[in-house]
Structure formats: structure tokens, C-alpha cells
Structure 1
Amino acid sequence: MTPIDLERLKTGRHRIVLRVDAGPAQPPIEVPVHILRGRKPRPCLAVVGGVHGDEYDGIRAAQRLAAEQMPDALDGTLIVIPVANPSSFAAGQRPTAIDNVDLNRVFPGKVDGGVSERLAHTLTEAVLRHMDLIFTLHGGGAVTRLAWYLEFLDADTDTGRRSHAAAAAAGFANLIAFAPETEGYLLPALGRLGVPVIEGEVGGRGELHLGNVDYYLERIADVMAYLGMVPKRVRAAAMSFSKVWQNSDVMAAAAGVLQRDVELHQAVSKGQRLAVIVDVEGRELAELVAPFDGVVGGYRGHSWIQTGQMAFRLFVPVARGS
């Protein structure tokens, strides 16, 4: 698979299409890739939306970025993939529609694997592993509401330090330390290939909000300024400090209706009740409590919940050296 040759591209807009075999009797998956070659080839930033097809704020932000950013204003190259998983986008769902697999659980992919694995492999080999930094734009999907946060690779390596530095420059109030040993996720998978990744989470519940889109575009501009691709930006004092957390998910212990006691961004104490799950008769089947002190960073927005599904995502403080 031939990677993009940045040296040979002229300054300006370019577009290629990655094609992935979707199997017998299926048309190939086609992934449009927008290349905005600036005044020099590097640094090269990839902005990727639509790894999950129901996370619309990031998709729309990437679409606007590809259309609105002027290549001749860049010292470097910007590569934009608005929809990395067209199959899940067309179905309006999280997993790839063809094989019902979550694309963000199979990176870096396999050339001879299933459809989602082949898609991950193509994205990795044709584009992602050749980048100086990757910024993926996620959201809460169809049923989850999340606070805005940005994940970075929590590793004491050159790649981990570069990921953390880029995250700190991006302007998010909440940074999440992501474990490097986690398998299948794009962020650590590309980290093991030496490419720093930061992964945003903005929006959710299957909704598109223009304020969220604008927020993502602001954060992308901050990252481009950090890389020296555009002039440095003046940031409001309130956005100059970030807290570092780890995610801790609270799972449903029964199936039923989730009755929440807490709201997004609310501080909670270990042992505090977060919700109860009730059955068809209104009987309480399970009580969900906070396993740690922390802050509510997300919750399931659809009140019906199955056993083992995520009910809450808590931000748990992480002590880090200077």
C-alpha cells in the first residue's frame, strides 16, 4: 500500500479515496481523504472523524475544516478524514454495518482480517502511521452524553510525552490519561508505531450541535498553532489550565430503567449513590454507587439499560509530576 508522498504534492488541495474490499456481493468501502498541502510538507497533522458513524459533531467539524482551511496559510500539511468508517456512518450507528464490529477495537488492523480489520489496516498503512500527530474527533454516540475531554497516551516514552504535550496545548479543560497497553484502540495502537495521538470526546446522544462543532474547530486550531502550522493563538485565561484524570466506568448490574441521581460535571464521593435501576413494576433491582471520589464525566442518555452496559463514566483524579 503506497503512502501519501507529501514531498511531491504541490501546495493546494488534493483528494484521494481509499478503497477497502467489503467482501462478496458488497461494493468496496470508499474513504475520502482530503490533503491540504501547505508551504512545506511537514509537520503533518491528521484530523480524523467518523471512526464511529453516529458521532456527528466531530464529523461535521472535520468536513468544515477540509472545506474552510486555506492550504497556502499552512506551514505543514493537514490531512482530514471526515468519515473514517462510511459503513457505520451510512447506517447511523457505532459499529461497521457490514460485520457489526467496532472499528476502534481492531487497530492497527489486519490485511487479511474481517472488513473492519481491513479498514483499520488500510487507514493505518496508507495514512496514519506516516503522521507527526493524529487528532481523532469522537463523541458520545447515539445513547451517551459526555463532558468534553481529550485523551492522551499515558506512557513514559517519547511518543507518550509528545501525545501529552499536544493534549496540554489543545485547550481542553479535562485530559484523560489513556493506558498504553489497551489493545485494539487507535490511540495506543498508533502509539506503539511511534505516532502520537490525541482523542477528543465532544457531544453525544446522536445529536449535532453547532456550538460543539465550533469548539472542535477551535481546539484543532490550537493544535495546529502548537505544531507551528499556523500563528500562535491568544487563549483565554480560563482555558490555560487542564486537569488530568483517568476514566472509571460504572456498569449496570441489572436490566431495567436507569433513574439517575447525579448530573454531568457533578462531584461525587466514594459510596455515593449515582442511580437505581427499576423493573416493570417499579421495584429497585440494583443501586449504582461511585467506586471512587471523582466527577461525573458521562452517563447513558437512554434510560433503558442492559446488564453490563456503561451507566456512568467517572473522572478520577491522577497525580502527575511537573
Structure 2
Amino acid sequence: MSVPSRIWTHVDFEQDGKQSGCLHVPISTDLSAYGMLQIPLVCLRNGKGPTALLTAGNHGDEYEGQIALMRLARQLQPRDLQGRVILIPSLNFPAVAAGRRVSPLDEGNLNRLFPGRANGTPTEMLAHYVESVLFAMADVVLDIHSGGKSLDYAHSALAQRREDPAERQALDALLRVFGAPHSVFTSGSAGGGATTLYAAAAQRGIPALTTELGGGGTLDPAGLALAEQGVRRVLRHYGIAPTLPCEPAGPTQMLQSLGPRQALYAPEDGLFEPLVKTGEPVRQGQLAAYLHSLQDPLREPLAMRFAADGIVSCRRFPTLCVRGDALFNLAGPL
């Protein structure tokens, strides 16, 4: 038996107009026994039509999507719509407020907790609400990410590969409409696998994509522009905002993630000296980086080489690394 969500909101999702409110997530602490974590929410509706669920701030140190959705929430008006748009620019709000990847309330990584738990930690409750309440209303889902403090990403949109031909066709169209330079199909074997927001939506048959639009824990202007225009193109494509101004999509390169087995990891602690940039093609055996020992300044740095041909989809951003840190991920032709 499914357990209903404990999260609630004053926003009426069936009401026409533009509403601004909060998701109220119950929390109980030493200083606030009956507290509520309040997550900003904007809902716009104009009659019947498809619904777009737009989220950012799933990881708190990723900013392109947060600013893009806040700007869209201010600009978009019900008269622009034939349907509904639900915008949550700072989905994991405690992480956003702290500038962290995970929530300081419970160390919850929201994008590793789907489908969540109705009676779990605050972050688990939030994943459960998105899964059980918001997905039920959505016809398309966009969860806007970038690399955060630990990664630098080539500008990409990602979708999880589906077996159903109609779902594959819808995802292919969605990626091309969004128009990132790289469109990457994932198998669910890397990163969060099936526990991410976009993977959970895809498992319900909802066309869903996520993005990686920069990194380093700062704002990438080109990534911000892509987030803004890509979301606008998707709203037009689905007929939700058919006259919304937007730029035409540029060409996209269709790729597939090569997964963790072809990624490059630090075999020991050290200082990471990358020799290639994100988006660059590489060959198997090509020198990828040097790893410099902290303990022995006279030791020659460890030369690290790529295990496969591909395109560098992301690399580690900080120089200091410890054993097991991911240094490079690769994508290859679809």
C-alpha cells in the first residue's frame, strides 16, 4: 500500500493563473519541534493542456538552472500558456542555501534518493513527493544540472535509454529540441543509476532529460544561456507556450555514456594535472593527466592514460584529489 506524502502546499495546481508559494516539508529539531522546511514553488496554468515540470537546485552548488528558472518564473505569464508549468528553482533548498551538493539537514543527496520515502528524512520525503505527486501531473520533466564544485562538464543534455520505440523517439526529439552541443544517452549503470530524478521520471514513461551545463561551483554564462533557451524551446515544442520567444536549436552530437568502466579514477592521493579539456576527442592509450605525489616531491608523477576512445564529457575540477576520485568520464558515438 502506498503511503501518502507528508509534504503539502497552499498552491492549487488545478487553478488558472500564476501562483507563488512553497512546498512545506515537516522537520523537527532541537530548536523547532514543529518546523517546516519551505521550498519556493511557482505554478502557472491556463486551461487544459500538457504540464511541464521544471526543476533546478537538485544539487545546491549548481547555478545555471537555478537562475534560468527564476528568470523564466518572473517572465512567464498565464496568457503565454496552453497548459501548465510547475517551476521549482531550488528543489533541494537547504543545499542551495548552504552552497553544497547535499542537504546540511541530513546529508541527503536528492539525486541519489528516488523514489524516496514518505516518512523518511527531509530529503527522502522530498524525493517521494516529486515521485508520487508531481510526476503524476507531468507530461515532460526537465531537471537542470551542472557540474557543481567537483566537476567541469561539456555542455550536455542527458536522457536515460528506453526500450520502447515510442519513448525512444520522444526522447530523441526532446534532446534535439533542447539543443545542447552534446546529447548523451545513459544506461543507468553510472552515477545515480535509477535513483536520479530524470531516471525515475523515465521509468514512469515521462519524457525527461537532465543537463550538465558547466561546473566548478560558479556560473557559466554560456551554460546559463543554453538553459534558458533550451527550456523555452521545449515549452514551445510541447505546445505549452506556443508563442514563447526563443532562439533556434543548434546542432547536437548524439552520444552514449561509456560508463564507469571506461572512466578514469585516481589510484592514490595527489595533485591532479589534466592534459585535456572537456568536449575533446581522445584515443585509447592517450596521456590524460599526471598525478603528483604529496608525500614524495622527488618521485616522478604518475602518468594516467585513457582506457578507450571517446569524448571527454567531464573532468574533475579541484586539483587536490584522493584515491577513488573520478578524474574523467567519457562518452562515445551512439
Any residues of structure 2 matched to 1:77-92 within 5 Å, and which?
A: 77-92=84-99
Please report how far the alpha carbon of residue 152 of structure 1 lies from its aligned counterpart in structure 2 after TM superposition: 0.9
Match of 1:123 in 2: 130
Alpha-carbon spacing, 1:233–1:111, altered in 2? closer, same or farther (3 Å): same
| One-letter amino acid of the structure 1 residue matched with residue 22 of structure 2 | V
Alpha-carbon spacing, 1:312–1:127, altered in 2? closer, same or farther (3 Å): same
- Structure 1 gaps of 5+ residues are none
Alpha-carbon spacing, 1:13–1:232, altered in 2? closer, same or farther (3 Å): closer
Equivalent-residue separation in structure 2 for 1:288 and 1:41 (angstroms): 56
Match of 1:152 in 2: 159
Match of 1:44 in 2: 51
Is 1:33 the equivalent of 2:47?
no
SS in 2 for 1:96: coil
* Residues 267-298 of structure 1: CA deviation (Å, up to 9, x unaligned): 11011110121112333464322111011121
Alpha-carbon spacing, 1:104–1:271, altered in 2? closer, same or farther (3 Å): same
Equivalent-residue separation in structure 1 for 2:38 and 2:100 (angstroms): 17
Match of 1:272 in 2: 286
* Residues 106-158 of structure 1: CA deviation (Å, up to 9, x unaligned): 11211122232112112222323320000111001012111100011201224
Alpha-carbon spacing, 1:24–1:308, altered in 2? closer, same or farther (3 Å): same
Please report how far the alpha carbon of residue 164 of structure 1 lies from its aligned counterpart in structure 2 after TM superposition: 3.0
Any residues of structure 2 matched to 1:59-74 within 5 Å, and which?
A: 59-74=66-81
Equivalent-residue separation in structure 2 for 1:241 and 1:233 (angstroms): 21
Match of 1:314 in 2: 330
Please, which of 163, 171, 192 is the counterpart of residue 171 of structure 2? Answer: 163
* Residues 199-254 of structure 1: CA deviation (Å, up to 9, x unaligned): 011121111234432221111111112112224878658x1443223144321111
SS in 1 for 2:71: helix
| One-letter amino acid of the structure 2 residue matched with residue 21 of structure 1 | P
Alpha-carbon spacing, 1:111–1:160, altered in 2? closer, same or farther (3 Å): farther
Match of 1:291 in 2: 307
* TM-score, scaled to structure 2: 0.87
Please report how far the alpha carbon of residue 64 of structure 1 lies from its aligned counterpart in structure 2 after TM superposition: 0.5
Q: Tell me, yes or no, if the aligned pair for 1:57 and 1:212 is still in contact at 8 Å.
A: yes
Equivalent-residue separation in structure 2 for 1:154 and 1:33 (angstroms): 30
- Structure 2 gaps of 5+ residues are none
Any residues of structure 2 matched to 1:193-204 within 5 Å, and which?
A: 193-204=204-215
Match of 1:250 in 2: 264
Q: Tell me, yes or no, if the aligned pair for 1:246 and 1:315 is still in contact at 8 Å.
A: yes
Between Structure 1 and Structure 2, how many residues are aligned? 314
Equivalent-residue separation in structure 2 for 1:37 and 1:269 (angstroms): 50
Please report how far the alpha carbon of residue 13 of structure 1 lies from its aligned counterpart in structure 2 after TM superposition: 0.8
